A and B are shown apart, each in its own frame.
Chain A
Amino acid sequence: MTVHETLEDMIAAVADGDRAAFRRLYEATARRLLPVSIGILGRRDVAEEALQDAYLNVWRNAAGFDPGKGRALTWMIAIVRNRALTLRQRIAREGNPAPEDSLDRLADGAPGPLDEALRSGAARALAGCMAGLDEAQRRAILMAFYRGLSHAELARALDVPLGTVKSWIRRGLARLKDCLDHETAE
Chain B
Amino acid sequence: MKRRNDDIWQMVAAEYVLGTLAGPARRRFERLREADAYYCTMADAWERRFGALVESLPPEEPSPDLWDRLSAAIDTGS
Interface residues of A (CB under 8 A from B): 19, 23, 26, 30-32, 34-36, 38-40, 48, 51-52, 55-56, 59, 69-71, 73-75, 77-78, 81, 85, 89, 107-110, 112, 115, 119-120, 122-123, 125-127, 141-142, 144-146, 148-151, 154, 169-170, 173-174, 176-177, 180
Contact = CB atoms under 8 A, between A and B. Distances in A.
Contacts of B73: 52, 56
A72 to B, nearest CB: 11
B53 interface: yes
- Which applies to chain B's interface (DSSP): helix, strand, loop or mixed? helix
Contact of A48 (B14, B15, B48, B62): B62
A81 to B, nearest CB: 7
B69 interface: yes
A36 B58 CA distance: 10
Contact of B50 (A31, A35, A55, A145): A145
A162 B36 CA distance: 31
Contact of B15 (A39, A115, A173): A173
Interface in B48-64: 48-63
Interface residues of B, number: 34
A123 B14 CA distance: 17
Given A56-B70, A78-B47, A169-B20, A125 B61 contact: no
Interface of B: 7, 10-11, 14-15, 17-20, 22, 44, 47-63, 66-67, 69-70, 73-74
A74 B51 contact: yes
A122 B49 CA distance: 7
Contact of A112 (B11, B52, B56, B69): B56
- Which applies to chain A's interface (DSSP): helix, strand, loop or mixed? helix
Given A34-B60, A109-B56, A123-B52, 8 more contacts: A31-B59, A51-B62, A52-B66, A55-B70, A122-B49, A146-B53, A149-B20, A174-B7
Contact of B69 (A52, A108, A115, A142): A52
A32 B58 CA distance: 8
A144 B19 contact: yes
Q: Which of B14, B15, B20, B59 has the most CB of A within 10 A?
A: B20
A83 to B, nearest CB: 12
A180 B50 CA distance: 11
A77 B70 contact: no
Nearest to A140: B20
